[in-house]
Each structure stands twice: as structure tokens, then as C-alpha cells.
Amino acid sequence: MIQQAIILSLQITGIYILFQQGMLLGWLGIWISNLLDKTIGMKASKYVVKPFFGCLACMASVWTCLLTWQINIGLMLLVCGINVLIDKIVNYEGTPCW
């Protein structure tokens, strides 16, 4: 289970980095964020954006279910913990994504 959690965490980290500004899908993240801000409001849009591509720790819940096709709370928590550790490395400016 730990090996699966590490693999999932690295996959989620890849998705997270792809959606960062200046990366390959950064434009898509900005477009989706702007579209959601206009349609459901800025406060509500953050609850949609963060679990899909905006917050590495928040992404553990949605992407663990999507990538494994099962709801496994223990695996989600393990992936979230690994993602928080990775977030400390990726966000070297010292500002966490949440």
C-alpha cells in the first residue's frame, strides 16, 4: 500500500505541476478558474479548483479516487501525507498551497 501511495502521490504531483502558471497546462488552469469565478463565484470556485489542480494536499482525495477507481480512506490519507511532504519541497518560496 505504501508503494501504491508513493506512485499515486508522484502522479498527482505531476498533475499539480502541469497546471502551474507557465507550465504546459497553466493556461487551462487559468481559463477554468476564470470561468468558474464568473459562473459560481470566487468563493465557491476555490472549492472546485483546489481538489482538481490547485492544492497538492487537497488533490489527494479526488485524484486517489479517480486514479484507482475506488474509495479508500486509508490510501487517501497516506497520499495526502506524502503530498504535504512533497509540497514542502515543491513550494520552495515557503508559501503552502492551502
pLDDT digits (tens, 9 = 90+) for 53-85: 999 999 999 999 999 999 999 999 999 999 999
Q: What is the pLDDT of residues 1-57, one digit of tens each?
A: 899 999 999 999 999 999 988 899 999 999 999 999 999 988 888 899 999 999 999
Q: Tell me how far CA of residue 22 lies from CA of 19, 56, 70, 72, 80, in angstroms.
A: 8, 17, 33, 33, 25
DSSP state of 67: H
65 phi, psi to nearest 5 deg: -65, -45
Do the domain assignments include residue 98? no
Q: Write down the pTM of the prediction.
A: 0.84
Do the domain assignments include residue 96? no
Cell numbers describing residue 93:
518560496
Do the domain assignments include residue 95? no
Q: Which domain holds residue 82?
A: 2-90
Do the domain assignments include residue 37? yes
Counting the structural domains of the chain, the total is 1
Do the domain assignments include residue 97? no
